[in-house]
Structure 1
Amino acid sequence: MTYENVIIEPVLSEKTNRMREEGKYVFKVNLSATKIQVKEAVRRLFNVHPVSCTMMVVGGKPKRLRYRSGRTSTWKKAIVRLEKGEKISLFEGV
């Protein structure tokens, strides 16, 4: 699996914006990715030094659309903590 396939997209919300101030960045990652693969992908793609990675599987939610029931997809979320003082410039708008 290449580094571009490990990280799918960043998760942007009010809560993740507050977490970025603490040096924690949240990403939607491939369901088969491991912590080591995510840390290495962040290190290579953004030229930063990740300290830790916490991962969780977010279950799909039930949805209804015009009398049809269904579910959203299950996805995996990774919270990556960087060394003190480091930032990912892509998120900072620089």
Structure 2
Amino acid sequence: MNVLKRPIITEKYAALNEVGKYAFEVGRNANKVEIKKAVEKLYGVTVEKVATMRSIGKKKTKYTKSGAVTGRTSLIKKAVVTLKEGEVIDFYSGI
């Protein structure tokens, strides 16, 4: 099972990066302990706190010639990780 799927880089979470908080999309079954260990192992930082949230998929309807097609976007789980003061994760180092 892959715990960390990808970092979330938006304007909202970029503002939190200034304070030492970073957001990741994580697996649905991942718990806070697994997320903390994965971030510490992958980025070599010390994690103080992990906050998780589930984002329920939205209902979407697309109108076509043959009628309306209704569906739902997928459910995702996010984790906001607070690092120890003075530590930084650089997402742009490989670019």
TM (norm. structure 1) is 0.90
Cα offset for 1:68? 0.5
Higher helix share: 1
Instruction: Identify the residue that residue 65 of structure 1 maps to in structure 2.
Output: 62
**Of the candidates 4, 26, 29, which is equivalent to residue 29 of structure 1?**
26
Instruction: Identify the residue that residue 50 of structure 2 maps to in structure 1.
Output: 53
Instruction: Identify the residue that residue 83 of structure 1 maps to in structure 2.
Output: 84
Q: Which runs of 5+ in 2 are unaligned?
A: none
Give a deviation string over 1:45-90, Cα, whole Å, max 9, x none.
000000000001100001122321111001100000001110012x
Whichever residue aligns with residue 81 of structure 1, its letter is T
**Of the candidates 13, 18, 23, which is equivalent to residue 15 of structure 2?**
18
Task: State the alpha-carbon separation in 2 of the partners of residues 62 and 34 from structure 1.
Answer: 27
Point out the structure with max Rg over C-alpha.
2
Secondary structure of the residue that 1:43 maps to in structure 2?
A: helix
Question: How many residues end up aligned between the 2 structures?
Answer: 89
Residue 39 (str. 1) matches residue 36 (str. 2) = yes
Give a deviation string over 1:14-67, Cα, whole Å, max 9, x none.
100000001000000000000000000000000000000000110000112232
Task: State the alpha-carbon separation in 1 of the partners of residues 58 and 50 from structure 2.
Answer: 25
* RMSD over equivalenced CA pairs, Å: 0.9
Task: State the alpha-carbon separation in 1 of the partners of residues 7 and 72 from structure 2.
Answer: 22
Residue 9 (str. 1) matches residue 6 (str. 2) = yes
Task: State the alpha-carbon separation in 1 of the partners of residues 74 and 62 from structure 2.
Answer: 15
